[in-house]
Structure formats: C-alpha cells, structure tokens
C-alpha cells in the first residue's frame, strides 16, 4: 500500500498540532512508517531508513514525532483501539452472547481489512520494548474477552460445551488473524463476504447441535 503525502499540520504524541515539514501530517507519516516497518521489521528499521522512504531528513521527522518508538506506539494504538472498540460495541448490546460473538467476529474482520498494515505490525510484535509489552497485553485482553463471550454462549446453550473457551478463542482469532497473510484488498464491500465465510467456518464447529 502506498501513502501519498498530504499537506496538513503534524501532531505530536500528545495530539497537539505542531508545524512540521510540509507534505506530511500524522496520518500519512504513520502510514509510510508502518509500511516500512512491515517490510524491513521494526527492530531493523532505523530513523535513517524511515528518512529515506519518507524523502525528508531525520530532523524533519522529529518535527512530527519524538522517536521511532513513538511512531510504533501510535501505530499499535490505532490497531488496538479499533479492535477494542469492536468488543466494547458488542458488549454494550443486550443480545445473547452468541450474537455478540458474531458481531465481534465480523467487526474484527472489518478492522483487519481496513487497518491491515497496522494490524499486521501488531501481529508481528516480539515484546522487545515496553511499548510492545503493553500492546501485547492489550491484545491478550481482547482474546480473554472473546473467550468470555464463548463461555457465556456455552452457558446459554448456543455453543457446544466440550471445547475450552480459552482454546476456542485462540483458534478463532488465529483464523481471523491469518487474513493478513493472504488477503488482497478488493471492493469496499469485500470484507463483508469474507466475514460471512469466517462466521460460517467458526460456527459450523462451535454451534450446539
């Protein structure tokens, strides 16, 4: 995915508008950096590498962010905020747990398709820094919440009870996360068809009979 520069004021980590090198705002700068991280690996990417791909000097990058780690933190937060919002939105409804679980599945597929570079970066974390450790813990929390929904649906009799909720959540999210390895962007509505396929595969094995 390529990200065309667009003129706008840059934002620092605290969200305060700050004038930086013309041609990049927070969105476009993050997009290019995430693409570079995904190609070369975060640890192997230097500020010099980012400078080369952005076409601006390292000092110009520092007009936008304070460090490479800040770029990583902002990128991971974009992915995690979207995934957490999917779960929170489903939990706010009064629907049966199995319906809330389906909403989480569909919403997670949508996030992966629409925020694929950011989610790809999240899925490749190794926990080598405090930023990565915090992100991994947030990801584990989402997994535990999905496990909780599965267990609630089992208790309500809508899902088979002979499968561990913890194992089922990891297998389910593992299947969804694999999308980043093979999916290629298509029409805007293509994610809905993909979500339908995931739901069918998931519930054909989970539903109580």
Say what the pLDDT of residue 23 is.
67
Query: Does residue 1 belong to any structural domain of this protein?
Result: no
Residue 47 and residue 44: Cα distance in Å, rounded? 10
Domain that holds residue 50: 10-66
Residue 203 burial (CB < 10 Å; 0-12/13-18/19+)? middle
Say what the pLDDT of residue 196 is.
94
CATH number of the domain within which 130 lies: 1.10.357.10
Q: To which H or E segment does residue 17 belong?
A: strand 17-18
Phi and psi (nearest 5°) for 76? Answer: -65, -35
Q: Are residues 88 and 102 in the same domain?
A: yes
**207 three-state secondary structure:** strand
Q: Which of 51, 66, 81 is the last residue of a domain?
A: 66
**18 three-state secondary structure:** strand
Q: What is the pLDDT of residues 18-70, one digit of tens each?
A: 444 446 787 899 999 999 999 999 999 999 999 999 998 888 888 888 999 99
**CA of 95: how far to CAs of 76, 91, 110, 195, 207, in Å?**
30, 9, 20, 19, 17
Q: Are residues 124 and 178 in the same domain?
A: yes
Residue 109 and residue 106: Cα distance in Å, rounded? 5
Q: What is the pLDDT of residues 66-101, one digit of tens each?
A: 999 999 999 999 999 999 999 999 999 999 999 999
pLDDT bin (cut points 50, 70, 90) of residue 209 is low
Who's near 169: CB < 8 A, 6+ residues apart? 143, 144, 146, 147, 150
Query: Does residue 4 belong to any structural domain of this protein?
Result: no
Say what the pLDDT of residue 122 is.
97
User: How many structural domains compose the chain?
Assistant: 2
Query: Does residue 54 belong to any structural domain of this protein?
Result: yes
Q: What is the pLDDT of residues 145-185, one digit of tens each?
A: 999 999 999 999 999 999 999 999 999 999 999 999 999 87
Say what the pLDDT of residue 3 is.
42
Say what the pLDDT of residue 200 is.
93
Say what the pLDDT of residue 127 is.
87
Say what the pLDDT of residue 17 is.
36
């Amino acid at each position: 995915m390529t990200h065309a520069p667009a003129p706008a004021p840059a934002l620092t980590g605290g969200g305060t508008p700050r004038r930086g090198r013309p041609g990049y705002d927070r969105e476009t700068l993050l997009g290019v950096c995430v693409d570079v991280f995904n190609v070369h690996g975060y640890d192997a990417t230097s500020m010099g590498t980012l400078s080369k791909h952005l076409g601006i000097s390292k000092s110009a990058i520092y007009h936008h962010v304070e460090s490479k780690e800040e770029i990583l933190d902002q990128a991971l937060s974009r992915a995690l905020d979207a995934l957490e919002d999917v779960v929170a939105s489903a939990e706010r409804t009064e629907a049966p747990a199995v319906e809330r679980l389906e909403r989480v599945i569909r919403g997670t597929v949508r996030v992966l398709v629409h925020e694929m570079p950011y989610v790809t970066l999240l899925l490749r974390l190794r926990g080598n820094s405090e930023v990565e450790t915090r992100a991994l813990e947030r990801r584990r929390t989402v997994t535990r919440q999905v496990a909780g929904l599965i267990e609630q649906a089992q208790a309500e009799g809508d899902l088979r009870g002979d499968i561990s909720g913890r194992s089922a959540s990891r297998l389910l999210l593992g299947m969804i996360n694999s999308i980043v390895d093979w999916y290629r962007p298509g029409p805007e509505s293509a994610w809905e068809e993909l979500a339908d396929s995931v739901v069918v595969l998931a519930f054909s094995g989970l539903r109580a009979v």
